[in-house]
Amino acid sequence: MCAVIVVNYHDDLNEVQGDPALAALLAAPQARAPFDRIAWWQGLVGHCGMRHLIAVARDGDQRCVLPLLRQARDVVALANWYNFTVAPLFTPDADRQALLTALARDLTGQAQCIVLAPLPDEGGETSLIETAFRSAGWAVWREQCDINHVLHVKGRSFGEYMATRPGPLRTTLKRKGGKVAVTIETAFNPESWAAYEAIYAQSWKPEEGSPAFLRSFAEAEGAAGRLRLALAHADGEPVAAQFWTVEAGTAYIHKLAHTEASKPLSPGTTLSAALFERVIDHDHVELVDFGTGDNPYKRDWMEEVRPRYRLTMCRPGWPGNWPRMAKASLCQMLKRG
């Protein structure tokens, strides 16, 4: 007897929490990363005004959930600029391919085109989605959209790790490491967060996308003990800040900034070194994740680059998709040629 997979869609996150199997999957510490928790989605909806569409495939106790967002006629991943990744989530021992293929087949009634990014593939996530949607009759295009710098600690101490860093970086630390005073906090402190926001406003960074979302996330991470907020002071004034979180053996580097006026002191380098020492020697993480982007300074600290992908899935029978499909096919041919 064939299993019956049921697909449902939720535009109310309370409905998702009403399913015990889903609630367990999306709760900390079961979630594999901050971006996979229902609290993250609640922040996107509450602070960023996103019209979410949580797609769920059910087969007995097995679940596959794909967080989506309606955007005009298309459907995209429920994510914003703070997401390192997006990906489908599965309960343990789920038949991933069967559940995701059933979900992809049912999504033909929800959208003419679906775009998912940034997708990882070190666990086969992008390939799994691509196969499922192709099997369900969608036309699929895959392209690299970003990169992710990471460090696998491999059991090293901070001292052993630093001995392998580039010479100029180690020289900068030796010459300027004592010019700023560093503090690292694990509980949310409104005054320290205000200092971070002031530093960010005086930095080279663009305007913050959603300050309320980021603060709410930092408050929650502080309450859970996962926050690592570092500040550098020069002559008693805060001049640099970095916002990291730690969980499940991984340190995530979310935000960093320093004031333009403090650049000669290299406070960001000093803060990074202090935080690497903290997460390696005290938190004993196995991985440090620097998120997306190919900023040159990331190469000094990280040792591996992983691709991030965009999948564009179109319904071939819908005429409105034909120009997009033709353009995507032409781009793919040009890249191959």
pTM, 2 dp = 0.93
**Among the listed residues 292, 274, 290, the one whose alpha carbon sits nearest the alpha carbon of residue 282:** 274
Q: Which tokens hold the place of 280?
A: 């390696």
Q: How confident is the model at residue 288 (pLDDT cuts 50, 70, 90)?
A: very high
Q: Is 113 a residue whose pLDDT tops 80? A: yes
Mean pLDDT confidence for 190-208: 95
**Among the listed residues 331, 306, 323, the one whose alpha carbon sits nearest the alpha carbon of residue 113:** 323
Q: How confident is the model at residue 1 (pLDDT cuts 50, 70, 90)?
A: very low
Domains and CATH numbers, the chain: 6-146+308-336 (3.40.630), 154-285 (3.40.630.30)
Query: Which range is least confidently modeled, 21-30, 138-147, 179-188, 276-285?
Result: 21-30
DSSP line for 125-141: HHHHHHHHHHHTT-EEE
Range list of H helices, the chain: 13-17, 20-25, 38-48, 96-106, 125-135, 158-162, 167-176, 190-201, 211-223, 267-277, 296-301, 322-336
Q: What does the pLDDT read at residue 325? A: 67
> What is the 3-state composition of the chain as percent helix, strand, coil, each rounded to the nearest 5?
40, 30, 30
Q: Is 334 a residue whose pLDDT tops 90? A: no
Instruction: Fill in the DSSP letter of residue 309.
Output: E
Over pLDDT 70: what percentage of the chain? 94
330: how many CB neighbours lie within 10 A of its CB? 10
| Unique residue bearing structure tokens 């429920």 | 78
- Quick one: angle between helices 167-176 and 267-277, nearest 10? 100
C-alpha Rg value of the chain to the nearest Å: 22
Euclidean distance between CA atoms 183 and 238, whole angstroms: 10
Condensed to tens digits (0 to 9), the pLDDT of residues 130-139 reads: 999 999 999 9
Condensed to tens digits (0 to 9), the pLDDT of residues 229-261 reads: 999 999 999 999 999 999 999 999 999 999 999
Condensed to tens digits (0 to 9), the pLDDT of residues 261-279 reads: 999 999 999 999 999 999 9
